[in-house]
Homo-oligomer: A and B are copies of this chain.
Amino acid sequence: MPLPTPLRLGLVGTGRIGTAHARVIAEQVPGAVLAAVADARPGAAAPLADAYDAVAFDVPQALIDSPDVDAVVITASSTAHSDLITAVAGAGKPVFCEKPASMTLAEMDRALAAVEAAGTTLQVGFNRRFDAGFVAAHAAVVAGDLGQVQLMRSLTRDPGLANPAAVPPWTVFTQTLIHDFDALLWLNPGASPVEVYATADALVAPDFKDAGLLDTAVVVITFDDGARAVAEASFSAAYGYDVRAEVFGSAGMVTVGDGARSSARFSTSRGAHHDTARGDVELMGEAYAGELREFVAAVREDREPAVTGRDARRALAVALACVESVQAHAPVAVTEARAVTR
């Protein structure tokens, strides 16, 4: 169906991921245009705005309030996410927020309340749900093809750790593994996480261990249906960005993620090889487009998007329990009550 006018999106935050989203909006999301770009750092918005013929703002709130902006995409620093969600909701506009939607459950609850009060839409950036492989895996689980879920795996390995000094201590859980937590919860629908055991270390950049940086982590999640899931992360994969998952059930298994850049397979005197995707944008490019298409569709159809603020809260609760588990050097319960009162 023809759409009478494109949805005018405002983007807040012009870092690496903001730049990637801007490009996706311009090139891969029909029915939407990048109308405005804001960044709290003076002058930072202009280059990206110019590149896409959008209006630049130095004050995010001004973009949020602009009558030329229909909906807002938040790609600012993680600590600013929940306040920005609250601000956009306050303006009565739909909001797409990169993960993590919040750094604490209390802030998350305030943001969720603001969205609910405004009767508007919040989608959070768990892009794996839009990857064709993850979609096929989820469909198989939902269809019962794998039987009762018993064992799960998910991993995220990032190709590089450019600036260890700039990485907040618990990033491996709140920003990296939160992707895996959301994927695992989504792939075991109907079940809830009841306990986590987490262990983490500084193996990639050991010099930063004293500063609290943990770059390698393993998490075991126990669900209330008995299923166990293992999530694993590293900040330095020599071979590129690596995202994989596996669901093993009583009737079978599905694995997702091959990291291949294309179908080309080379054989030479050194053996057989294929190229691997180097970064998240390359590996998950179609998923980045898919999540923004879903956001635009949900706004137009005035419905709840495929990934909600409640989903983000659930994944965050697991991430925060992991932090506690590392601190306690013990398994830790994941309870709604405890989570809410943090």
Contacts and interface: CB of A to CB of B under 8 A. Distances in A.
A228 B199 contact: yes
Contact of A252 (B131, B227, B239, B258): B239
A2 B255 CA distance: 41
A275 B269 CA distance: 9
Determine which residue in A53, A220, A236 has the highest number of CB atoms from chain B within 10 A of its CB, and name it. A220
Given A220-B199, A271-B276, A255 B248 contact: no
B275 A136 contact: yes
A274 B276 contact: no
B268 A1 contact: no
Given A136-B262, A157-B248, A330-B330, 4 more contacts: A2-B53, A234-B248, A252-B266, A271-B274
25 contacts: A2-B51, A2-B52, A2-B53, A27-B28, A136-B264, A137-B264, A150-B216, A151-B216, A151-B218, A153-B232, A199-B222, A201-B226, A201-B228, A218-B228, A239-B253, A240-B267, A240-B271, A242-B253, A251-B268, A252-B266, A252-B267, A253-B268, A271-B273, A272-B274, A330-B330
A252 to B, nearest CB: 4
B238 A216 contact: no
Contacts of A218: 151, 220, 228, 230
Nearest to A285: B286
Contact of A259 (B267, B269, B270, B276): B267
Interface in A187-233: 197, 199, 201, 203-204, 206, 216, 218, 220, 222, 226-228, 230, 232
